[in-house]
A and B are shown apart, each in its own frame.
Chain A
């Protein structure tokens, strides 16, 4: 139902989808890290290997941080849905 400009059903659905998106981004983050380390092993040079791993780790970290932001968005949508339900007495 819709209340004061908010729709808890849609918000709950979007919260679930955002959680899945955060998990996908987190997987991407770890894949980037793993690929950087893996590639470094084939570089044949210690300094290049470390530079590859470092750069990939930094980008992986950016994506990991982004996954946390998306988790926050999911939590925000979910919390707003619960608050709307509590306010309208519609329960879960």
Chain B
């Protein structure tokens, strides 16, 4: 009559997850060390070797980042499963204790022929069983989620691996990273995999020597290899994102399936997080560039420019997804933006020119005000000229051109704020601080930061 307690050891699982997280931290340190070694070697290499060396070390750095992220994600899934297992075991054990107690009471009541009490206790028995069965059902859901999430981690590196034995996932992932011309000795890799059964330093040291022999044939062979092989790191992430995006769009067009919509959205967010974690995916670069172009040259022109530069990124992935409200707001700004750029660019140039002129010519102004006016005028002219040139298609919009606009505008704003500092109230100074913070963020974003 008692319920089966789910098997497994949550405490041991959590301990393994903690160790795995520490290994992931080690991998991050390895990446930093690689950067140091790379920079030292690049400075000492003959010039003609620099390009290859830089490309290979970039591949290795990207793979280390991916490995660290993957190990962290697996550790998280292990912990989540362990927590769920722990909770289910505790509830079921508790329920079983109560069920035993109730059954003993039922036996006593039967012996006393107290049938009313027997009926009451049987009702209590059913309720208790229900509590335990609910906990087990919740655990079964967590179990399915754990299998799905863990499989998707493996799929990210080895597409189709959820149907593979773990040893084959290891062989395939090893082979996916190294250039095809090097190749890997799959037989040795399988032997090595079988030789490692736990986080045992001695076992690992023994197997490490074997696996090294299976995987490397030297620099000359590496040079023959195509770096495109390693681009799979990014392609896998992009493919997952595009699949999640397509599923999300499908869910959006299926009204009523709220659960499906939420699930698709969660999957999309997960895929997007992986995508942005990869610094050099073509999709993320294309979307970033599209965002820069869109307000300057309009939606269609921006799409054309980005599509020319990134022909391999599917057209509908170039435009970032937005919610309905943001879509409406952006529709207005997209309609107004190109026209406003054509008008406000020349206006900015004229006003900037006037500021420079008065800064130079008006000797009735204090020296610091004249200097700030000239600096602000130069910023305004630069930003206006770049805006005008891009808006009229005289030059292609590039991140550098956009940076000129952003930084020039901030310089002009700063000069204006300086000149009018005494008239600016405390509240306005707070706003000015926010503008400067915003400008720093814009600059960080343009230069590839957050």
Contacts and interface: CB of A to CB of B under 8 A. Distances in A.
Interface of A: 4-11, 13-15, 17-18, 21-39, 42-45, 47-48, 50-73, 75-80, 83-84
Interface string B203-232: 111011001100110111111000000100
Interface stretch (B33-41, B247-255, B310-318): B33-41
A6 B167 CA distance: 43
Interface stretch (B56-64, B102-110, B116-124, B298-306): B56-64
Contact of B166 (A42, A50, A63): A50
Nearest to A13: B40
B280 interface: no
Interface of B: 6-9, 12-13, 16-17, 19-20, 23, 26-27, 30, 33-34, 37-38, 40-41, 43-47, 49, 52-53, 56-57, 59-60, 63-64, 66-67, 70-71, 74, 77-78, 81, 85, 143, 146-147, 150-151, 153-154, 156-158, 161-162, 164-167, 169-178, 182, 184, 189, 192-193, 196-200, 203-205, 207-208, 211-212, 215-216, 218-223, 230
B143 A45 contact: yes
B7 to A, nearest CB: 3
Contacts of A21: 30, 33-34, 37
Given A37-B198, A73-B57, A84-B46, A64 B143 contact: no
A10 B9 CA distance: 51
Contact of A59 (B45, B173, B197): B173
A79 B166 contact: no
Contacts of B198: 34-35, 37-38
The B interface, classified by DSSP as helix, strand, loop or mixed, is helix
Given A29-B67, A38-B16, 17 more contacts: A10-B41, A30-B211, A35-B20, A39-B16, A54-B169, A55-B74, A57-B193, A58-B70, A59-B71, A61-B169, A61-B170, A61-B173, A62-B67, A62-B70, A62-B177, A73-B38, A76-B52
Indicate the member of A62, A63, A71 with the most B CB atoms within 10 Å: A62
A59 B17 CA distance: 14
A39 B7 CA distance: 13
B30 A28 contact: yes
Contacts of A30: 192, 196, 204, 207-208, 211
B30 A69 contact: no
B178 A65 contact: yes
B173 A65 contact: yes
Contacts of A52: 74, 77-78, 150
Contacts of A7: 43-44
21 contacts: A10-B43, A32-B67, A32-B71, A34-B196, A37-B198, A39-B13, A43-B81, A45-B7, A50-B166, A51-B147, A52-B77, A54-B165, A57-B170, A62-B70, A62-B173, A65-B215, A66-B60, A69-B59, A72-B182, A76-B52, A78-B219
Contacts of A28: 23, 26-27, 30, 67
Nearest to B33: A21
A76 to B, nearest CB: 4
Contacts of B17: 39
B154 A54 contact: yes
B147 A26 contact: no
A55 B49 CA distance: 36
Contact of A69 (B8, B220, B222): B222
A35 B19 contact: yes
